[in-house]
Chain A
Amino acid sequence: MTVYFYTYAGVVKAVENVSFELYKGEVLAIVGETGSGKSVTTRAITKLIQPPGKIVSGSVIYRRDGEEVDLLKLPEEELRKIRGAEIAYVFQDPSSALDPLYTIGYQIAEAVAAHRGGKIKQYLSEAVNLLRNVLIPDPESRVRAFPHQLSGGMKQRSVIAMAISNRPRILIADEPTTAVDVTVQAQILHLFKQLKEQLGMSIIFITHNMGLVAEFADRVIVMYGGKIVEEAPVMELFQNPRHPYTQGLLRAVINPITPQGRLEPVPGTIPNLINPPPGCRFHPRCPYVIKGKCEKEEPPLGNDNHKVACWLYT
């Protein structure tokens, strides 16, 4: 899949030729920093891209009722049925995901009604149940609360309730705990684990926090500059990081329990995506750059269990 943004300054090649698979019942973590393309990729899965962005090419094959469907080719009506029902999103900032003018009970019921039809009011009791599922204390009275009356953690839980209200098969969570406190983050992560067991969902979990990845993910994709640079099961990735960027990322992450000497940041800055560096997009910052090769040709991703896009390994 390739997604470009046509801006005044130039064409931003936000996502370039990204391919991956999501298996049933797994937690796939997508790791990357600003400009890696992780958020754009997941939004593109259900065509949630606004101008000046455009999905230039690619397909999203989704298994539905035993047959395969390309989501990018579906008519808007069909796609709308899938969004929110079979593929649900949880975004980073719960305050902007909730409408301040309606109670959370109403908004959850609305999410249900949008897909099952009928009046919103009839789903209010189901909203109470959902709130209980996401471990909000005293759901019967909370269901009548407005977003501004709730704390950050509870807002995010309400958003998660909305997301799971139609028993989605895939949950895409984009930095869902970045805006909340550490102890609340632990609670929400715990909640995600519980819900995954209960509902048998597959989860795509986007984050820049390697600790969360270690806690929760089954497989990890590392993105940089709009491309996938490494893909591996979680243990493999942490014990044996292959791509120099992944290695740099792990070295720059502070492990609070086991102290390290000096943090080693990754030198340089993220690439300009309007004129990305030729060849491998990481080569200007790579400590192991192979002159004559890395700045000319783009390394392919590879095909085994632990995929890397790096000339050091091909």
Chain B
Amino acid sequence: MKILDKVADGFLWVLVTAIALVRKDWYAKNKARIEEWRLTLYALNRSPTGVVGLFLVLGFVSVGVAGPFLAPYSYNQFLYLERPELYLVPPGAHGMPLGTDIYGRDVLSLLIYGARVSLVISVITIALGVPLGILLGLLAGYYGGKVDETIMRITDIFLAFPALVLALALAATLPQRIREFLISEPAFASLMAAVFGVSSEDAIHLAPLISIFTALIIVWWPMYARVVRGMVLVEREKTYVEAAKALGYSSWRIMTRHILPNVMSPVVVLVTFDFATVNLLAAGLSFLGLGAQPPIVDWGSLINMGGSRFPTAWWLVFFPGVAIFLTALGWNLLGDALRDVFDPRVRRRIEFKV
């Protein structure tokens, strides 16, 4: 326990020193806030599952970010062409730690690339969908009345879209359009390729993936709109909001600078859980063949590949499955711990042995 606390202290010290280099008086002005962060980290340390979740998540993110640079083989190295014996070998054979797939690619490397794909999909979906939902929820909750009604009805309509059906429907026409767009805009295509960790020639194969996360974004924002609206309804009645009105502050200022920061905690927890959910959904869609198309690979498509060859080529199903499981577990554990940690009453109740 003490070690973790020391790690937390160290981390905070690094952060503070770094910022102090840029802005001199930041530390003095924010001493109280830093103490709150410290207490938050300590509280997180008190939850063993939370720490486990944190490490899993950090592992996932680091592999996702650094992976494609560190993987032993590239995802489009079809080793099979050079060494025919590497066709679909089980783990351990011929020096392939996790085996190879039907194109002779190293499964370990494929897992690493898959991490990048998963990471990118979840980050983009959340980064685009969540702020939209938050904004609409803010507006609906603060203004109430007709504004609220309209926004909520729209939200309801979007909430009714099942992700799967939407993805299927979009998969029929959208990938083709995206492919054409990628061909006509090579700069954009290269950007996408870099982001996903693939080489530029394969960029057009990203089209189905982009189609998936369009579908995901469309279905994702309504939930946030709802959650945020509910919280804004409560927060709006609090005295400091009335005080802000009495001081003549504009509605926009009250919404963004007063109400929003005070409702962010549950949103953060929700986002954490959603990383897990998006990953699972994306993997599921890939498994169904809607997502990554060869040569691009992600965990779901690996399972797809292995599914028809199960149980002979069990490693194609097992390892990606474990990866998906651990990632989702990590996010969920972290989310659980964060939910407790963000509750100021729980923070204060932590008993410290004297």
Contacts and interface: CB of A to CB of B under 8 A. Distances in A.
A6 B354 contact: yes
A51 B349 contact: yes
- Closest 9 A/B residue pairs (Cβ): A52-B351, A51-B351, A6-B351, A6-B352, A11-B354, A8-B352, A8-B350, A52-B349, A6-B354
B350 A52 contact: yes
Contacts of A19: none
22 contacts: A6-B351, A6-B352, A6-B353, A6-B354, A7-B348, A7-B350, A7-B351, A7-B352, A8-B39, A8-B42, A8-B347, A8-B348, A8-B350, A8-B352, A11-B354, A50-B349, A51-B349, A51-B351, A52-B349, A52-B350, A52-B351, A52-B352
Interface centre among B42, B348, B351 (most CB of A within 10 A): B351
A98 B40 CA distance: 33
B-side binding surface: helix, strand, loop or mixed?
loop
A51 B349 CA distance: 7
Interface string A1-18: 000001110010000000
Interface in A10-65: 11, 50-52
A7 B347 CA distance: 9
Contacts of A52: 349-352
Interface of A: 6-8, 11, 50-52
B37 to A, nearest CB: 13
Contacts of B349: 50-52
Contacts of A6: 351-354
A50 to B, nearest CB: 8
Contacts of B42: 8
Contacts of B353: 6
A7 B353 CA distance: 9
A51 B352 CA distance: 10
Interface residues of B, number: 10
Given A7-B351, A8-B347, A8-B348, 15 more contacts: A6-B351, A6-B352, A6-B353, A6-B354, A7-B348, A7-B350, A7-B352, A8-B39, A8-B350, A11-B354, A51-B349, A51-B351, A52-B349, A52-B351, A52-B352
Interface of B: 39, 42, 347-354
Contacts of B351: 6-7, 51-52
A8 B350 CA distance: 7
Contacts of B39: 8
A81 to B, nearest CB: 28
Contacts of B347: 8
A6 B39 CA distance: 15
Nearest to A50: B349
Nearest to B349: A52
B312 to A, nearest CB: 56
A11 B353 CA distance: 10
A117 B350 CA distance: 37
B307 to A, nearest CB: 49
Contacts of B348: 7-8
A52 B354 CA distance: 11
A11 B352 CA distance: 9
A155 B354 CA distance: 42
A147 to B, nearest CB: 20
A2 B352 CA distance: 18
Contacts of A8: 39, 42, 347-348, 350, 352
A7 B351 CA distance: 6
B175 to A, nearest CB: 52
A6 B353 CA distance: 7
A6 B349 CA distance: 9
A313 to B, nearest CB: 35
A197 B178 CA distance: 85
A32 to B, nearest CB: 22
Most buried by B among A7, A11, A50: A7
A17 B347 CA distance: 28
B9 to A, nearest CB: 14
B12 to A, nearest CB: 15
Nearest to A7: B348
A79 B330 CA distance: 43
Nearest to B38: A8
A50 B349 CA distance: 9
Contacts of A11: 354
A124 B194 CA distance: 73
Nearest to A9: B348
B36 to A, nearest CB: 11
Contacts of B354: 6, 11
A3 B39 CA distance: 24
A52 B42 CA distance: 16
B35 to A, nearest CB: 10
A10 to B, nearest CB: 9
Nearest to B39: A8
A198 to B, nearest CB: 40
A127 to B, nearest CB: 33
Contacts of B352: 6-8, 52
Instruction: Output the residue of B347, B352, B353 with the most chain A CB within 10 A.
Output: B352
Nearest to B348: A7
A274 to B, nearest CB: 11
Most B CB atoms within 10 A — which of A6, A8, A52? Answer: A8
A104 to B, nearest CB: 26
Contacts of A7: 348, 350-352
A7 B348 CA distance: 7
A50 B345 CA distance: 13
Contacts of A50: 349
B244 to A, nearest CB: 27
A16 to B, nearest CB: 16
Nearest to A52: B351
B353 to A, nearest CB: 7
B322 to A, nearest CB: 38
B1 to A, nearest CB: 14
A172 to B, nearest CB: 24
Q: Interface centre among B39, B349, B354, by most A CB within 10 Å?
A: B349
B27 to A, nearest CB: 20
B34 to A, nearest CB: 14
